[in-house]
Structure 1
Amino acid sequence: MRKLSAFACGLLFGVGLLVSGMANPVKVLGFLDLAGHWDPSLAFVMAGAIAVAAPAFWLARSRQSSLAGAPMQLPANRRIDARLVGGALLFGAGWGLAGFCPGPAIVAAGAGEPRAWLFVAAMLTGMAIYAALERRRRSP
């Protein structure tokens, strides 16, 4: 049941990204172009997503398990440190340069977008480099 509900949620998320235009890098870059021809439509998508997610996260704080019975795993660290800020800056720079972030890039790659395949390959390479650096940092 958990796999089926995870699949359904992923499918709904992917369809939502396609319908909203979040998987279209041209639309995303238009949203990020504040000094040019700004396209505010994605701000409404984000506001709608926050309006739906905020009550769900509020409810999740008081639960020990999800509706599917999985243990609830919410972040415990609320500290803003250099690693968080650096990661956010890298994420934002990548989003602004490519017009993709991880979820929409995977959806666009699945839809056959060649630029998304390149982005996903670069993203996976970056994840592998990060994992190797973390293992090295944590080893004595």
Structure 2
Amino acid sequence: MLRHIIALIAGGLFGSGLFLSGMTNTAKVQGWLDVFGDWDPTLAFVMGGAMIPMALAWLVRNRRVTALTGAPLPPPASSEIDRKLVVGSVLFGMGWGLAGLCPGPTIAALSYGGPGLYVFLAAMLTGMLVAPSLRARLDRAVPAE
């Protein structure tokens, strides 16, 4: 039960932060990404505001073996830069730049997003469903180095 309450509070804070910061506004996100045009630097503060608490969370995580709920913490993610990371990053960046949305803001904007958001949501969910089989097929065709 405590785990669900913590998840609800964390999700509510995260969604509220995305909304208040403008991350659910596709025009603002695309303005941030348009560094050679009419660049809007205001989301740099959002990025910095996200990185600072995350760095502190990593420091705390390194000193703990269990979460506040008592569940074991997963091991740290790999820091290896491989083909999967590069391809995934490129695809994420392309989608973010074209649509002005990524998964978190998409979920936060569900109640007011309009038709474009729902098209993006459908494409995102389709990509999430197709990705494992596509990755397996690519790994068989071109083995990782």
The TM-score, its normalising length taken from structure 2, stands at: 0.87
CA deviation map 1:40-88 (0-9, x unaligned):
1100011011111111111102211111222212434221011110110
| Distance in 2 (alpha carbons) for counterparts of 1:52 and 1:20 | 16
Gaps of 5+ in 1: none
| Distance in 1 (alpha carbons) for counterparts of 2:102 and 2:130 | 18
Residue identity (%): 50
After superposing on structure 2, the runs of 4+ consecutive aligned residues of structure 1 that deviate more than 3 Å are: 133-139
| Distance in 1 (alpha carbons) for counterparts of 2:59 and 2:75 | 11
The TM-score, its normalising length taken from structure 1, stands at: 0.90
Task: Kindly state the Cα deviation for residue 121 of structure 1 after the two structures are TM-superposed.
Answer: 0.8
Gaps of 5+ in 2: 141-145
Q: Answer with 77-86 or 16-25: which moved more.
A: 77-86
Q: Which residue of 2 aligns with 1:40?
A: 41
Pair 1:97 & 2:135 matched = no
1:109 aligns to what SS in structure 2?
coil
Task: For 2:12, give the aligned amino acid.
Answer: L
Determine which structure has greater relative contact order: mean sequence separation of CA pairs < 8 Å that are 6+ residues apart, divided by chain length: 2
CA deviation map 1:92-111 (0-9, x unaligned):
01000000011001111233
Q: Which residue of 2 aligns with 1:116?
A: 117
Q: Which residue of 1 aligns with 2:143?
A: none
RMSD: 1.8
